[in-house]
Amino acid sequence: MRTWFTVILCFTLILITGCTDNSNSSPTEKDQVEQVKSEKTAQMESHLKTENIIYGPAGPIYKIDVTYDDKKHQISGTMHVSFVNNLDKTLEHIYFNLWPNAKEFKSGGVQVDNVQFNNKPVKFDVKKTKLNVSGLSLKTDEEATIKMDFTVTIPEMKNRFGWYDTNVSLGNWFPILAVYDNEGWNLDTYFAGGESFYSLTSDFDVTLKTNKGQMIATTGQSLGKVTMEDGLAIHHFKAKNVRDFAIVMNSAFNQSTFNENGIKINVFYEEENKEYAKYMMDTARYSLSLYGKLFGKYPWPELDIIGMPINVGLGMEYPQLVMISLKSDEEKEKYAIYHTTEHEIAHQWFYGAVGNNQYDEPWLDESFASFASYIALHDKKPNFKWVRAIGKKYYHLTSPASTFLKHKEDDGLAMYGDVIYDYGAKALNELRKKLGDDAFYKGMQAYFEEMKFKVATTADFIRIMEQSSGEDLSKFFKDHRVYLDDTR
C-alpha cells in the first residue's frame, strides 16, 4: 500500500524531475529505514564534534639513578628525561611538577640542581610545585633531553608520600614532566583531598641503591639479581607505558606471589597483617579476571599490592602498584580490604591505562573505579539507592577539583566524595541499565581499547559510547549533570 510519505515524495520528484508512477523507483521500506538511521547518525554527530587535542611533549623516557639514605630519610641522585616536541610551536620553556613541595608535606620537599638541556647548563626556577626550565628553543619534531640532580626529603607521615616506622612510601616523589594541551601547560596545585596528577604514558629505567634488607615494591618489574656496592644493595627496575613510577620500601615486609592468567601478583605485608594479605590476594585474583572480561585485558605483566599504614582515604593507586590501608578491626577490615582493593585495582584501567586530567575531570577515573568496585563487590548487580542527589547547582559530575576547593569551607571536600565517587558510580550504573549489559560493556571495551595509553576526555567517553550503542545519549548525560562546558 502506498504511504502518504511516498505520495508526497513522488509529487515533489515529479515537480523536479518528472517522476512517473513507477513502483520500482519508489523508496522501499529498507530505504526509508536507512534514511532514518542516516538522519539519526547525523544528529548524533552534530553534538559529538570534539576538539582535536594534541598532548605533549611526546614519548617521555625517564632514566633515574638514586640512593636512599635511611638515616636522613632522603633519596637523591640524577634524572634524565628525553622527549619530542610534537606541538605546533617552538618551546622556550619546559615545566615539571614537583609534588613533594606541596604545603601538605611540611617537612618534606625536593631540591633541584644542575639542570641541563641537551648537555648544556640552562636556566631554571622553582616556585612551590612548579619547575620552569627556560632559556631554550625546541622546535617542532625535535628531540631533547633534560638532565638534573635532585634530592627528595621524605616527611614523617602515614601518606602516599612519607615514611613511618620502617615503611617508606614514594608516591609522586620525583620531578615529572607537566602536560601541555589545549589549555597550555598544566600546573594545577596539589589536591590532598583527591588527586591532581596528570601525566603522559612514559617508559622508566630506575636504579635504586638502598641499605641491605629492604623489601621493595614498585611500578614495573625488577631486572636481574640485586647486587652490592660499597655496602649498598643495587636494584634495577624497568616499566613501559606507565604514567608514573611509585616505590614502597619496608625491611619488615613479607611477600606472597601468585600468577593469575599470566599476570604476576605480588602482595607485600608485615607479619602482623598476614591474615589481611589473603584478603588482598583473593580480591586481586578475582578483580583482575572480572575487569579483564568487562573492560579489556590488564595491559602489564605484573601488579604489586601493598598493605601498609596510610591516612589518605583507604588506599592509593599508581601504575602497577596499589597501596591498601590496614586498620585493626578484622571483621570491618575484611569488607574494607575487599572493597578498597577492588577500587584501587580498577584504577589500573581508569587512570593507569586510560588516562585523564585528574584535576580537571576527576570523574573519569574516580567514578569509573568506584563503579567497577561496586560491580565486583555485588556480583555485577550493585544497588545505589543510598546515593544522594547532587543538590547544589554549582556541583556537576564533570566539575573540576577547583570547584570543590572553592567551597571547601562549606561542604566542598565532602561533596567531592559524594559527587565524584558515589554519584558518578550511580550514573554509570544507570547508563548500564539503560543500554543493557551487552551494549554497555561493548561500549566500555571500545572506550578502553581506543583510549588505552592515551588521555581521555568526557567528550571522548560520550562519543565512543554513542558510536558503540548507536544511541543519542545527550539527554541521559545532561540529566546526570555531565556538561562538556565544564571541561573547556
Quickly count helices (H) and strands (E) in the chain: 11, 24
Residue 37: pLDDT band by 50, 70, 90 thresholds?
very low
Tell me: pLDDT of 6 over 50: no
Closest CA to 186 of 142, 240, 138, 129: 129
Instruction: Give, as one character, the DSSP assignment of residue 389.
Output: P
Cis bond before residue 309 (omega within 30° of 0): no
- The pLDDT of residue 317 is 96
- The pLDDT of residue 244 is 98
Tell me: pLDDT of 182 over 60: yes
Residue 389: pLDDT band by 50, 70, 90 thresholds?
confident
Phi, psi of 483 (to 5 degrees): -120, 125
- The pLDDT of residue 408 is 85
C-alpha 279: how far from chain center: 25
Tell me: pLDDT of 8 over 50: no
What residues contact residue 23 under an 8 Å CB cut-off, 6+ apart?
A: none
What's the whole-number average pLDDT of the chain?
89
Residue 220: pLDDT band by 50, 70, 90 thresholds?
very high
Q: What is the mean pLDDT of residues 13-32?
A: 45
User: pTM of the entire structure?
Assistant: 0.89
Percent of the chain with pLDDT over 70: 88
Which position has the grid cell 608520600?
A: 161
Q: Exposure of 377 by Cβ count < 10 A (0-12 exposed, 13-18 middle, 19+ buried)? A: middle
Phi, psi of 301 (to 5 degrees): -85, -10
Percent of the chain with pLDDT over 90: 77
- The pLDDT of residue 171 is 96
Closest CA to 448 of 353, 318, 362: 353
Phi, psi of 34 (to 5 degrees): -65, -35
Three-state secondary-structure class, residue 38: helix
| CA atoms of 38 and 31, how far apart (whole Å) | 10
- The alpha helices in 47-90, defined as continuous H runs, are none
Higher pLDDT, 376 or 412: 376
Closest CA to 196 of 107, 98, 110: 98
Q: CA angle, corner 222, sides to 75 and 226, nearest 5?
A: 75
- The pLDDT of residue 333 is 74
Instruction: Give, as one character, the DSSP assignment of residue 190.
Output: P
| CA atoms of 191 and 285, how far apart (whole Å) | 31
Sign of CA dihedral 375, 380, 386, 391: positive
What residues contact residue 483 under an 8 Å CB cut-off, 6+ apart?
A: 396, 398
Higher pLDDT, 232 or 224: 232
For the ranges 44-53, 231-240, 334-343, 411-420, which has the lowest average pLDDT?
Answer: 44-53
For residues 51-62, one letter each, b for 16 or more C-beta atoms within 10 angstroms of the residue's C-beta and e for the rest, the string is eeeebbbbebeb
Please compute, for residue 103, the number of CA atoms within 13 A of its CA located in the half-sphere on the CB side.
Answer: 3
For the ranges 33-47, 146-160, 388-402, which has the lowest average pLDDT?
Answer: 33-47
- The pLDDT of residue 153 is 98
Q: What is the mean pLDDT of residues 420-441?
A: 97
What residues contact residue 286 under an 8 Å CB cut-off, 6+ apart?
A: 376
Which position has the grid cell 641499605?
A: 211
C-alpha 7: how far from chain center: 56
Closest CA to 268 of 257, 282, 258, 279: 257
- The pLDDT of residue 27 is 56
